[in-house]
Amino acid sequence: MSPPNEAPGADSNPRDGDFELVTLRNGSRAVRHLGHGEVMHPSVGPWQEALRLYVEQPRLAERLLQPGSPLVILDVGLGAATNAVAALSCARALGAERRRPLEVVSLEVDLAPLRLALADAAGFPFLQPFRDAAEALMRDGVWEGEGLRWRLLLGNAIGHLEQPLPPADLVYFDPFSPASNPEMWTEGVLARVRAHCREEGEGALLMTYSAATPTRVTLLLAGFYVGAGVSTGTKGETTVASTRLESLEAPLGERWVERWRRSSSRAPHGAELTPEVEARLLAHPQWRSR
């Protein structure tokens, strides 16, 4: 029996290492991990989710129309490069109106999803305008053109997060879920991500598909302000985090705290809810600021 979002016919799915291509019931192509079975962007298809969460939500086009230093995106979980290419496509579409360069720094441990997606031009047509860029990225670790720069840091993301990186204006936090990839969702890792965020100016925004209570708890403990993010269709809500409370359109407030108190999932990812952890959460400046 096929998973709920997947159409029948998995026996003929192209495979590369631990990954395979699948067709969702809405007709979109997507990448699935053969081990834990998780599908990348399973709700409305990769391109629609990337545009909604990672381009439209942070108003990327508006940011690029304002003069300034290069806008840096930290892309945690390159996958099939859908989020990165959505950002690059937005920048390229602005043409001469764009007033600042864009740099995307992608972290990824396995390039099989990208190889599969590039080999399926009909299923992933949105990648084709950046096909040469993606191939150069895999080959050389970097691609540059038209005020755009795309870098690949290949290997375990946690190790790369311990190294110097350019301050990020936006973070696309899109690893596999906490159930499938628990090490990426801990307070320690998210605190490292927080340390790479830009402090000056507008600060930085982090977007992620997870709206789970433990995800929001962990982001708060890692030093972010946290709010509700846009819907992706099947997901009623996602999560946005920021280095500045005023950057959030729908910050969590006392109603969320009250729901958290009643929740059966109150602990952060990868840790227990000790009295010390609870005290830290309740002392977060997000609640005092409101």
Where in the chain are the domains? 43-289
Mean pLDDT of the residues in the chain: 92
- Work out the average pLDDT over 132-149: 97
Separation of alpha carbons 44 and 235, rounded Å: 9
Concatenating the DSSP letter of every residue in 37-78 gives -PBSSTTT-HHHHHIIIIIITTTHHHHHTS--SPEEEEEE--
pLDDT surpasses 80 at 197: yes
pLDDT surpasses 80 at 3: no
Q: What is the largest CA-CA distance in the chain?
A: 55
pLDDT surpasses 70 at 5: no
pLDDT of residue 1: 26
Domain 43-289, CATH class in plain words = alpha beta
List residues bridging with 206 in a β-sheet.
Answer: 171, 241
Separation of alpha carbons 250 and 245, rounded Å: 10
| pLDDT tens digits, one per residue of 57-114 | 999 999 999 999 999 999 999 999 999 999 999 999 999 999 999 999 999 999 999 9
- Work out the average pLDDT over 173-186: 95
Nearest to 106 by CA among 139, 142, 151, 136: 151
Lowest mean pLDDT segment, chosen from 26-35, 101-110, 187-196, 222-231: 26-35
List residues bridging with 22 in a β-sheet.
Answer: 30
HSE-CB at 90 with a 13 A cutoff on CA atoms is 29
Q: What SS3 state is found at 31?
A: strand
pLDDT of residue 43: 60
pLDDT surpasses 70 at 241: yes
- Locate tokens 């998995």: which residue? 10
Helix 213-221 to helix 275-282 angle, to the nearest 10 degrees?
A: 80
Separation of alpha carbons 60 and 90, rounded Å: 8
pLDDT of residue 202: 85
pLDDT surpasses 90 at 242: yes
- Can you give 163-198 as a three-state secondary structure string? CCCCCECEEEECCCCCCCCHHHHCHHHHHHHHHCEC
pLDDT surpasses 90 at 213: yes
Question: How far apart, in Å, are the Cα atoms of 275 and each of 5, 179, 213, 255, 279?
Answer: 40, 25, 18, 21, 6
pTM over 0.75: yes
pLDDT of residue 61: 98
Separation of alpha carbons 168 and 203, rounded Å: 9
Separation of alpha carbons 102 and 18, rounded Å: 32
**Would you mind telling me the total number of residues written for the chain in this entry?**
290
